[in-house]
Structure 1
Amino acid sequence: MRSTAGSTERTGTARRPDPADRVRRFSTAERWVHRTTGWLTLVCLVTAACLYLGPLAQLVGRRHVMVFLHEWSGILLPSPALLGLFSADFRADLRRLNRFAVYDRQWLRAVRRGRRSSSARPAGKFNAGQKIYAGWIAGAVLVMMFTGLLMWFMGLLPFISRTSAIFVHDLLAWAIAAVVLGHMRKAFQDPEARLGMRTGYVTRSWAEREHPRWLSKDGDAGVTGRTHEV
């Protein structure tokens, strides 16, 4: 595969954008929120597998350590986002994620019909799929925390049976695992999107192709009243 500046290389990675042709996509605070949340989610899912799957539990052992890591990684999971609220960039992106525009519905229709052009899939800084994923995972984490605390301290709400809490917790855990794997799969299909999360910068050509309304005056860059460029 040939590669040009900012495109995918043979190794499946993206070159760093040329300083003269790059746009800041994420601040340092936003990248740390994403990275820390990702690691906590990974620990939570791996320890859950070690507790839930018999063969894996026998292979790993140390059940008390797995329980400790699982409980505390779950409790700490919302903390990166809460700390991220101190960042103006992070708060601006939360507003973008909570704002479902007309063109987001157009993006969803284009996905259902298999259309791939940027004109058929208009998107601001975040496309409709990313907005749905963010909203769903935020709600799922809250439910997982609630059911997990019920299992940990069953005296909190004695009228809710432990069996009910376990059922909801386990069922949602499988759903979260599937959704997170889908999220990772999409990320690995787009090396420059990963580069943007790793370094904070992407090429302008990628931004205009994948998120054409982000840098335009009528796009959701207007949430902060500016775009981040170098």
Structure 2
Amino acid sequence: MTSTPGSAGPTAVTTPPRPEADGLVRRFGRPVRWVHRTTAALMLLCVATAGCLYVPQLAELVGRRHLVVTVHEWSGLLIPVPLLAGLFSRAVRGDVSRLNRFGPHDRKWLRAVRPRDHRPGSRPAGKFNAGQKLYAAWIAGAVLVMAGTGLLMWFTGLAPLMWRTSATFVHDWLALAIGIVLGGHIAMAYADPEARRGMRTGSVGRRWARREHALWRIPADPAGPPEDR
């Protein structure tokens, strides 16, 4: 029991629970969200123009093939630019470092994926889980390969015919793989409204953060785990 102002002794009024349990915590700052949104816009533009180039029905519907090719080439080359510009931000560098850091808890998270183990504690994660880390690493590598093969296709004088033919083969099939992976990424984002809110507004619910990212040391949370992974 607690004492009320002006009373000489304790009263029957109980202390209400602290509101922080259901409050919001900051997950992404403005620079991180800007990098994500700009990269996503360029990626979707590149994929959309690729569809207009490879699907005959879309090519006939859109027309202006030369313009579509130009937009596709430049949007593809510009995809890494937002991240490179964002590296001037300490928040972006910090998140890139976390995405590149794998630990024992990430292996445990991956082992729980195949049997679809959703028990509390079966999928420990820091600020980013193992699936997000693998996706970030894969898509970064794929973008670099697509840029390299695209340049060989764009500037035909850079390499002999054999190289350009191989580059076209890799570019086409990797583009299909990227489309499938991006579709899965978007579907998983739509399945988790709280994760979408984190990328849209920068804040997420404290309970969600503790449940889905238990090893993430929440800012200004003294009850959090000892490490920010």
TM-score range with shorter-chain normalisation? 0.7 to 0.9
Measured after TM superposition, the shift of residue 162 of structure 1 is: 2.0
Work out the CA distance in 2 between the residues paired with 1:121 and 1:213.
10
TM-score with structure 2 setting the length: 0.86
Structure 2 equivalent of residue 26 of structure 1: 28
What aligned pairs does 1:1-230 form with structure 2 within 5 A after superposition?
21-158=23-160, 160-215=162-217, 216-221=224-229
Work out the CA distance in 2 between the residues paired with 1:114 and 1:184.
20
8 Å CA contact retained: 2:21, 2:207: no
Work out the CA distance in 2 between the residues paired with 1:88 and 1:160.
43
Structure 1 equivalent of residue 220 of structure 2: none
Cα pair distance change 1:19/1:58, threshold 3 Å:
farther
Work out the CA distance in 2 between the residues paired with 1:51 and 1:156.
23
8 Å CA contact retained: 2:21, 2:206: no
- Larger mean CA deviation between 154-163 and 63-72 belongs to 154-163
Q: Which has the higher contact order (CA 8 A, sep 6+)?
A: 1
Measured after TM superposition, the shift of residue 195 of structure 1 is: 0.3
Work out the CA distance in 2 between the residues paired with 1:180 and 1:91.
23
CA-to-aligned-CA distance 1:127-166 (integer Å, 9 cap, x gap): 0000000000000000000000000112223374321111
8 Å CA contact retained: 1:104, 1:123: yes
SS of the aligned residue for 1:116 comes to coil
Cα pair distance change 1:94/1:197, threshold 3 Å:
same
SS of the aligned residue for 1:112 comes to coil
Work out the CA distance in 2 between the residues paired with 1:192 and 1:63.
40
Work out the CA distance in 2 between the residues paired with 1:36 and 1:19.
33
Cα pair distance change 1:87/1:19, threshold 3 Å:
farther
Measured after TM superposition, the shift of residue 20 of structure 1 is: 7.5
SS of the aligned residue for 1:155 comes to helix
8 Å CA contact retained: 1:213, 1:220: yes
Measured after TM superposition, the shift of residue 114 of structure 1 is: 1.2
Aligned residue type for 2:226? D
Q: Which stretches in structure 1 are left out of the alignment for 5+ residues?
A: 1-17, 222-230
8 Å CA contact retained: 1:29, 1:84: yes
SS of the aligned residue for 2:113 comes to helix
CA-to-aligned-CA distance 1:170-215 (integer Å, 9 cap, x gap): 0000000000000000000000100000000001100001101002
TM-score with structure 1 setting the length: 0.85
SS of the aligned residue for 1:202 comes to strand
Cα pair distance change 1:150/1:79, threshold 3 Å:
same
Residues matched between the structures, number: 205
Q: Which stretches in structure 2 are left out of the alignment for 5+ residues?
A: 1-19, 218-223
Measured after TM superposition, the shift of residue 21 of structure 1 is: 1.3
